[in-house]
Amino acid sequence: MTLNFLKKSQKGTIISINADNVPLKLIEMGCLPGNIVEVLQIAPLSDPIYIKVNDSFLSIRKDLAKEIEVELI
């Protein structure tokens, strides 16, 4: 599944990232394969989402979260 389907307080391990559509910045902020990502909050109109990954706290839009493949844990 992809990151945009994770519900609030669910965690997942990042499996792969679509290099074509994901900016280098997100990788540089710690969104790397193998790292655990947790959805902390989903904005009131269900976009964007607020995640914790690699000790970084980030907010990204769902169209970007769609490009990140995760495995639910």
Which chain residues interact with another protein by CB under 8 A? 17, 19-20, 23-30, 32-33, 40-41, 43-48, 50, 52, 54-61, 64
Residue 71 CB, shortest distance to another protein, in Å, is 18
Question: Parallel, antiparallel, or unpaired for β 36-42 and 49-53?
Answer: antiparallel
Please say which residue, 5 or 29, places its beta carbon nearer to another protein: 29
Considering beta carbons, is residue 18 or 73 the nearer one to another protein? Answer: 18
Closer CB to another protein, residue 5 or residue 30? 30
**Do 61 and 22 touch, CB atoms closer than 8 A?**
no
Give me the least distance between CB of 52 and another protein, in Å please: 8
Residue 3, both tokens: 């990151």
Q: Which residues contact 40 (CB under 8 A, 6 or more apart)?
A: 8, 9, 50, 51, 52, 57
Look up residue 52 and give its amino acid.
K
